[in-house]
Amino acid sequence: DNREIVLRQAIRKMAETEPFDYIIMDCPPSLGVLTINALTAASEVIIPLQPHFFALQGLSKLLETTALVRRRLNRELRVSGVVLCLYETGTRLAADVTDDLSAFLNHSDPEAPWSSAKVFKSRIRRNIKLAEAPSYGQSVFDYSSSCPGAKDYGGLVQEIIADEQVEESPIRQAA
């Protein structure tokens, strides 16, 4: 039974006729067959996380699953970072969770799929427009491009692109 690799096979087949630079997969929070398929097909993972301590427990389970998928199904899989969502600036809880998360990532086993992961500087603030947009069948950029949520996601995209350009630079490749 190869149900964990169905998506990877479909993407490889599609790539033969329709080349792409990126595929972005938004997965459910459960660790069912859909998420396992996505992890098996992906080269890297960006984890959205609410800055609450219970969310850290869920993160722990996701990281365990990522390590298992890397060992058994996808040797290339890595976690590139964590983006904090529904972020409330100025709260002690958000600051504490951010500090704990950064400390955990900085002291990770060098062999772990998340050993080079970072906490993205971009924060996705709590914003009602982010919740409303899907109910109208639109992205937040189409629904309300000037709202704080759209600006936050735009900033995250720019941060990810900048990180990728650093990774691809000739200096980094020679290192």
- pLDDT, tens only, 27-64: 988 889 999 999 999 999 999 999 998 998 889 999 99
pTM: 0.88
- pLDDT at position 166, please? 81
Report angle CA 138, 139, 143 to the nearest 5 degrees.
70
CA distance 32 to 96: 30
